[in-house]
Amino acid sequence: MFLDFLRLALKNITHRKRRSWLTIIGILIGIAAVVSLVSLGQGLNRSISEEFESLGADKLFITPGGELVSTGSQFAQSASKLGGDDLDVIKRSRGIEKAAGMFARTSRVEYKGESHFLTVIGIPTGARDELIKNSWSLEVEDGRFLRRTDRSNVLIGSNIASGIFDNDIGVRSKINFEKRGFRVVGTLRSVGDPGIDNSIFLPLEHAEDLFGVEDNYQYITAQVRPGFTPEEARDILERDLRQHRGLDEGEEDFTVSTAQDVLDSFRNILNIVQYFVVGLASISLLVGGVGIMNTMYTSVTERTREIGVMKAVGARDKHILTLFILESGMIGLVGGAIGAGIGGTISYGAAYAIRQYTSIPFSAYVSPMLVAGSLGFAFLVGVLSGVFPARSAAKLDPADALRYE
């Protein structure tokens, strides 16, 4: 009997094609918006996870202040600081293999008469540069990496090489900042981190001389010693730094984060943003549900005599109720299927455009769970929207329905 109801519901939908399609459009727009936004969010989540996996799970990130900051050049701005004595404590900590500190300043950078305020980062070179390169995923696209002797040579991020200035900057170009001239010896491959792509790098020792500072780090990266987990090394290091600074537990003016801590922080922010935009997109699903309800009420009015005939030949209230709920559910399901296809196409197209125009290694991800959830939700919206019209149809008196003109 259920198959008979299904065939009859499908026949009624196809009999009123124009109205059915107009109703379906309301649902498919909402589902397309939700699927595209969620799939882009899932793709970004996967890209971030892959990026942090490339950093290695054996890294700790130490910043001044009590706020968790990301890797890259997102330096903490805090009244506290990390000094050379802190770096020595970190290096001597039982769970740490090696560590390196970096600092950054903002400076007016000039090139061919044009100037911009950019971040200049001092990074260690020599034996410690591999730790920095691995932690920040620094890859030289053109030229070479920095050497300790590069007093007047710098590396530049991909956006500085082509994008920030009107004239492209390449290897052997001359730029000026802090009243000195510098020669570009290499450009960095884009990693999708604006902090790196928009920064200038020079050896730490020469950067300290240039800005007149010493042992003042905004960021320290440490590698966990084999035999320790990142969590164990973090706990030991926090205890050592508290003891060195004379602080009680809970009074830390520094933050020690594992790669997983930073990744979780990114994901929490991303999830909040994603829930918000999906909530906005879901408003269109509410509009689509109202459209289905309106269509079904209209259908009940048009088919009053038909309902009366069905009841006269033995159809019960539950049969009428099932028929109309199936019709509204199928309208939602068809809209959901088309919307999921359109949403997936939009997300993959957007991801392709992002890769083409920004060089960010980003891809959309349409999971089977997302598709199944979208179809189920669209069907549920259709069913709920058809409940009241279906109850109205089921309660019609057969005699009154047969006399209806």
The answer to whether residue 183 scores a pLDDT higher than 90 is yes
| Pairwise pLDDT comparison (93 vs 22), residue with the higher score | 93
Task: Give residue 68's identity as a one-letter amino acid code.
Answer: L
| Pairwise pLDDT comparison (164 vs 307), residue with the higher score | 164
Would you state the structure tokens that stand for residue 200, as one six-digit string?
A: 């200038």
Position 69 scores a pLDDT of: 47
166 burial via Cβ count (<10 Å: 0-12, 13-18, 19+): exposed
- Read off the pLDDT of each residue in 353-364 and give the average, rounded to a whole number: 72
The answer to whether residue 71 scores a pLDDT higher than 80 is no
Would you state the structure tokens that stand for residue 331, as one six-digit string?
A: 């309208």
- What does the alpha-carbon distance between residue 180 and residue 195 come to, in Å, rounded to a whole number? 23
Q: Hey, which residues does 219 pair with through a beta bridge?
A: 102
The answer to whether residue 109 scores a pLDDT higher than 80 is yes
Q: What is the CA radius of gyration of the chain?
A: 31
- What does the alpha-carbon distance between residue 199 and residue 188 come to, in Å, rounded to a whole number? 10
| Pairwise pLDDT comparison (69 vs 182), residue with the higher score | 182
| Pairwise pLDDT comparison (108 vs 164), residue with the higher score | 108
Position 74 scores a pLDDT of: 47
Position 79 scores a pLDDT of: 46
Confidence grade of residue 195 (pLDDT, cut at 50, 70, 90): confident
Position 92 scores a pLDDT of: 92
The answer to whether residue 60 scores a pLDDT higher than 70 is yes
Mean pLDDT of the chain: 80
Taking the CB of residue 83, how many other CB atoms lie within 10 A of it?
15
